[in-house]
Chain A
Amino acid sequence: MRDRFNFEIESLKQRLLDLATSADRALVRALRAVDGSAPADDARSVIASDAAIDAEEVAIEEECLKLMALYQPVAGDLRLIVTILKVNGEIERVADMASNIAARAIDMAEAHVPPEARFDFAPMLERAHKMLRGALDAFVCHRSDLARKIILEDDAVDALNAAHYANARDRLLKDPALANYTLDCVTVSHCIERIADIATNICEDVVYLEEGQIVRHQKRIQA
C-alpha cells in the first residue's frame, strides 16, 4: 500500500513539474515576443498552447482528489498532496499570464513606437522569472529556507510595476497617440507583477509543505 502510494505521488509530482516546464516555456516565449527578440508567431503559439496546459491542470487536480479519496493521507503526505493541488493552480495561472502577455505582444509588435518611447521590461522580467524558477526549485529540493528568501523579493517587483505605472501615466498625458501601446505596457507590467505574486504563493506553499506552518498574509516573514 505504502509503495503504491509512493509510486503514485512521485508520478504526480513529475506531472506537475512537466506542467511547470510547459508553463515556463510559454512564459519565456511570450517575454521574448514582448521585447521583439521573437516573432509574433511565437506569441500566437503561446496562446494556442494554453488549452493543453488547462487540460493538464484539471487532470492533475483529478489525480490529487483520487489519491486523497483512496489513501486518506495525513501529515507530510497530506501536506504534499495539498501543496501539489495548490501549486498546480498557480502554474496554470502562470500560463494564463504568458497568454495575456503574448496577446499584448502581438498588438505591440504592430505599433510604431520610437525607441525612446519603448518600455524596458528587462529588469522586471528578470527578477520575476528568477523568483518563479527559484520557487519551483525550492519545491523540488524541499528548501523552505530558499522559499522564505524568495518571498522577500516580491516587494522589489511591486516597486518596478509601480514605476511602470507612473511612467505610463506620464506617457499618456504627453503622447496620447501612443495610448494603445502604453495601455498594453500597463497590462504586460501587471502580468509580470502577477508572476512574482504567483512565485510568492508557491514559496508560501513550500513553507507549509516543509514546516507545516501557514505563512500567508503575513507582512514580514523572517528569512
Chain B
Amino acid sequence: MDTPRQEPQIKIRARKLSFFYEGGHQALFENDLDIPERRITAVIGPSGCGKSTHLRTYNRIYSLHRGQRAEGEVLLDGQNILDPKTDLLTLRRRVGMIFQKPTPFPMSVFDNVAYPLRLHFKLGRKEIEERVEAALQGASLWDEVKDQLRKSGLALSGGQQQRLCIARAIAAEPEVLLMDEPTSAIDPVATLKIEDLVLRLRERFTIVIVTHNMQQAARISDRTAFFYKGRIVEVGPTKQIFTAPREKKTEEYITGRFG
C-alpha cells in the first residue's frame, strides 16, 4: 500500500544473515534485508524457503532449541540482537510474535492479556485493568469480550483467539510485531478482520508478516520480500512485486507456476 508519508526509518537491518539447524543444515544464506519502521513487510516464498526461519531470528525465539544458530547480524535500532549478551526477555518484549495457530494461555481472557503486563512491568491493579482494556480495544476484541473477561481464552472462536494473542502481544507495548502466517488457521471472515486490524496496528508498530496467502501480502503490505531456497530473490514495494516483478523466479512463484 502506498502512503504519502515520507521515507521511513529502518527498524531492523539483517546483514549477511545465515541460519543453521541442528546437525549443520543451513537454512539461510547470507541474506540482507531492511525492515522499515511502522510499515508492513510481507515475507513470501514456497514451503521450506526459510521465511519463517528468517522471521524467528528477529526475536531469537530459535534460542529455545538447542543446536540452532544464526550468523551475521540482526540490527534492531542499530544494536545487534544476535550478540550473546542480548537480554532475551527485553528483546521479546520489544519484538512480539504471533503464531500460525492461536496460542492463548489456559487462563481467562483478562489474564491472557494481563500476563505480559505482570511479567514486564510493575503496575497496580487499576493500571493493569486499563491497559488490558486498551490492548483488547487495540486488537478489535473488546466489544466482543468485555462481558466475559473471566471466561477461558480457549473458549473463544479461532479468529477471536488470534486477536486475543495480538492483544497479549501489543499489551507489552512492543516496537515490532512478527506474524508467522497469522490467518492460515482461521476462516475468511475472521481473516479479513485480522487484516483490518494489522493495517490499523501499522500506525503504531513495525510489522513483519510471513504469509502463504499471496493476495493477503498484496492487500496489506507496503514491501514484499520473496525467499527461495534460503535466499532472498527479490525485495521491493509490494505494488511492484505483484504487478511487475524484476526477477523471473518471483514472477513464476507469484503466478503459481511453482511452489
Contact = CB atoms under 8 A, between A and B. Distances in A.
Do A and B share a complex? yes
Interface of A: 1-2, 5, 72-79, 211-213
A78 B257 CA distance: 14
A207 to B, nearest CB: 11
Interface of B: 214-215, 218, 240-245, 250-251, 254-257
A39 to B, nearest CB: 49
14 contacts: A1-B256, A2-B255, A2-B256, A2-B257, A73-B255, A74-B214, A74-B218, A74-B242, A74-B254, A75-B241, A75-B245, A78-B243, A212-B240, A212-B244
A77 B255 contact: yes
B243 A79 contact: yes
Nearest to B246: A212
B192 to A, nearest CB: 15
Contact of A212 (B243, B254, B255, B257): B243
Most A Cβ at <10 Å: residue of B214, B218, B255: B255
A212 B214 CA distance: 19
Contacts of B245: 75
B215 A72 contact: yes
A78 B239 CA distance: 12
Given A72-B215, A74-B214, A79 B244 contact: yes
Contacts of B250: 75
Contacts of A72: 215
Given A212-B243, A212-B244, A213-B244, A76 B256 contact: no
Contacts of B257: 2
A45 to B, nearest CB: 42
A75 B254 contact: yes
B256 A75 contact: no
A76 B215 contact: no
B106 to A, nearest CB: 39
A211 B255 CA distance: 16
Most B Cβ at <10 Å: residue of A72, A74, A79: A74
Q: Which 8 A-B pairs give the minimum distances between C-beta atoms?
A: A212-B244, A74-B242, A75-B251, A77-B255, A2-B256, A74-B254, A75-B255, A75-B254
A69 to B, nearest CB: 12
B147 to A, nearest CB: 39
Contacts of A2: 255-257
A47 B255 CA distance: 42
A186 B147 CA distance: 78
Contacts of A78: 242-243
A75 B215 contact: no
Contacts of A5: 256
Contacts of B254: 74-75
A101 B256 CA distance: 46
Contacts of A74: 214, 218, 242-243, 254-255
A2 B256 CA distance: 7
Nearest to A209: B244
A183 B251 CA distance: 52
A5 B255 CA distance: 10
A74 B256 CA distance: 9
Contacts of B214: 74
A212 to B, nearest CB: 2
Contacts of A77: 255
A79 B251 CA distance: 12
Contacts of B243: 74-75, 78-79, 212
A200 B250 CA distance: 30
Contacts of A75: 241-245, 250-251, 254-255
A213 B240 CA distance: 10
A75 B240 CA distance: 8
Contact of A76 (B218, B241, B255): B255
Contacts of B241: 75
